[in-house]
Structure 1
Amino acid sequence: MDTIIQGKAYVLGRNIDTDQIIPAEHLVYSLSNPEEVKLYGKYALSGVPPAEAGLPEGNIPFVQDNKFESDYSIIIAGPNFGCGSSREHAPFSLQVAGAKAIVAESYARIFYRNCVDGGFVVPYETQEELAATVRTGDELRIDVANNTLENLTQGTMHKLNPLGDVLNIVEAGGIFAYARQENLMG
């Protein structure tokens, strides 16, 4: 993985659940058919209520109509991101849509584990309420080595909680790939 993750921010509020991340009606696509896999990206975050999407501006789609990938690669969220059902498709859909990292105040445990175990998206935590200051479309730069997020648009710097061993697992492509890489499987 690059030591820098840079891209546009997509800002969400608190308690974004897995049905908002990928609504149940979109769980029908094949995970082995590349044309159908793209649909997971197309519908990523499509269940977020318009008043919540792109806070505080509201009503900004994560993926534009007739596209399969988002223009936003860093998601900024409040607490309890990924709450709801145990849906591995949620972090997968964000990855397919082009998300590289999520920076949230906290995560639902099962979403966080699915994110890491599948090696889908880097899940950073922060002590700051970034959703109150970062705006959708701000250009962000995450320095993975130093656990910092720089808002290039606003000229501000923010500290992120260290990832620890999570980074190695995500970099390897998931828990099983990491275990094979480290000769942990017998």
Structure 2
Amino acid sequence: MTQASATVRRFGDDIDTDVIIPAIYLTSHRPEVLARHCMEPLDPGFAARVRPGDVLVAGRNFGCGSSREHAVLALQAAGISCIVAESFARIFFRNALNNGLPLVACPDAVRDAREGDAIRVDLDGGQVWLGARAYPFPVHPPFLADMIRQGGLVEYVRRRLAETGPD
């Protein structure tokens, strides 16, 4: 799965889930509400600038802090199609994949990416493209790539059960 060219939305290290979606908004499960407040503590204008398909690029330990699926839902609802980071907090990593949000660990691309750069991510080919320069990354195993492509764990299981039956 190759993404069309998108725009980099850049953040630093240790972006925690309380920054991705502040706790005050956790009373809502409505994606449009979560999207409006996504990344608000660091960048109040973030939600207004993001366009569908944009890629969030961040440093180390992205998604640390509380385990909350709201953080993934807020990013997706805001329009983020993929996150490229140096590393991810384990629980955020799992929540993102379970909800069909692709994550890519590619420190070299993170080092060179700047806010507003054009970026393209080839999940199947294992490359992040910044302009004409390609940065390799390890691809997800086939079952995980399939799960992401299908929109996350629930859709993946539904389709598998439809194909094979409950046995």
Aligned twin of 2:86: 105
User: How many pairs were matched up?
Assistant: 162
Residues 50-92 of structure 1 deviation map (CA, whole Å, 9 limit, x = unaligned)? xxx5xxxxxx83222xxxx723710111111000000110011
- Aligned equivalent of 1:125, options 105, 108, 113: 105
Shift of 1:132: 3.2
Shift of 1:185: 6.9
CA RMSD of aligned residues (A): 2.0
TM-score by length of 1: 0.79
Aligned twin of 1:38: 32
Aligned twin of 1:14: 13
- Aligned equivalent of 1:115, options 66, 79, 96: 96
Please list every run of 5 or more consecutive structure 2 residues that lacks an aligned counterpart in the other structure: none
Q: 1:6–1:28: structure 2 CA closer, same or farther, 3 Å change rule?
A: same
- Aligned equivalent of 1:151, options 103, 126, 130: 130
Q: Distance in 2 between matches of 1:126 and 1:161?
A: 8
Shift of 1:177: 1.3
Q: Distance in 2 between matches of 1:44 and 1:5?
A: 23
- Aligned equivalent of 1:84, options 65, 78, 100: 65
TM-score by length of 2: 0.87
Q: 1:156–1:85: structure 2 CA closer, same or farther, 3 Å change rule?
A: same
Q: Tell me, what secondary structure is at the counterpart of 1:169?
A: helix
More helix as a share of residues: 2
- Aligned equivalent of 2:121, options 124, 127, 142: 142
Q: Tell me, what secondary structure is at the counterpart of 1:63?
A: helix
Please list every run of 5 or more consecutive structure 1 residues that lacks an aligned counterpart in the other structure: 54-59
Q: Which residue identity is paired with 1:25?
A: I
Shift of 1:3: 2.6
Q: Distance in 1 between matches of 2:81 and 2:156?
A: 18
Q: Distance in 2 between matches of 1:16 and 1:5?
A: 26
Q: Tell me, what secondary structure is at the counterpart of 1:181?
A: helix
